[in-house]
Amino acid sequence: MISELVKNSRRSDRDLAKTLDVSQPTVSRARVRLEKQGLIDYTAVPNLAKLGFEIIAVTFAQRSFEKYPEINLRKAQDFAKRHPSLIFGAGGSGLGYDRIAISIHRTYSGYSKFLQELRSEWAETMDIKESFIVSLKSKDVIQPLSLKHFAAHLKNEKES
C-alpha cells in the first residue's frame, strides 16, 4: 500500500483497494493506521527546475565533539524553520564528515546567503566544510528528484 501511495498519494481508497485486491474498508483502516504511526505523510514533489529553482546543494560539516559533545537540537530545528530551503539535515558519517544538509535554491546568490548564515550560526559548534552543488538546469540531470522509482523499489522489495 505504501508503494502505491508514494506513486500517487491522491488515489482514492476505492482505487487502492481495487489495485491491491482488498476491500475498501481494509484500505481505509490501513491508511489511518499508517498515518497515525507516522509511516506516511502527504506532499507533492514538484519539478523544481520548472518552478524556477536552479540549485540543489549537499553541504558537509564536521562537529567539534570535544567542545560540543551534544548537538543543540532545538537550535538546529529553529534554524531549519527559518530556512525553508533546507529540506534535509542530519548527523551521519562518511567522507570524513558527520553532518549533512541538503538545500534547494532559486539562484547561486540564494545558496551563498544560506551557506553564509549556516556558517555564521554554527561556527562555534561545527566546521562547515564543503558543498556539492547540482544545477537543476543542467542536461546532466539524469533522474529528476522523484519518489516514483523508489515506490517501484518498495513494491519489488516486498514481493521478493
The pLDDT tens digits for 1-25 are 888 888 888 899 999 999 999 999 9
In the predicted model, what is the mean pLDDT of residues 137-150?
83
- Tell me the average pLDDT of the chain: 89
Lowest-confidence segment of 18-27, 28-37, 43-52, 94-103 by average pLDDT: 43-52
Residues 147-157 have pLDDT tens digits of 877 877 777 77
Determine the pLDDT at residue 160: 63
Mean pLDDT, to the nearest integer, of 80-96? 93
Identify how many contiguous H helices and E strands the chain contains and give both numbers. 6, 4
| CATH 3.30.465.10 is right for the domain spanning 55-135 | no
The CATH 3.30.70.100 portion of the chain extends over 55-135
Residue with cell 533522474: 143
State the distance between the two ends of the chain, measured CA to CA, in whole angstroms: 16
pTM of the model: 0.77
The fraction of the chain above a pLDDT of 70, given in percent, is 95
User: Model confidence over 53-65: pLDDT tens digits?
Assistant: 999 999 999 987 7
Fold of 2-44+146-159: Arc Repressor Mutant, subunit A (1.10.10)
Give the C-alpha distances (Å, rounded to integers) separating 84 from 75, 88, 118: 15, 10, 13
Q: For residue 144, which of 43, 63, 41, 53 has the smallest C-alpha distance? A: 53
- Cβ count within 10 A of residue 57: 21
Positions of CATH 1.10.10 in the chain: 2-44+146-159
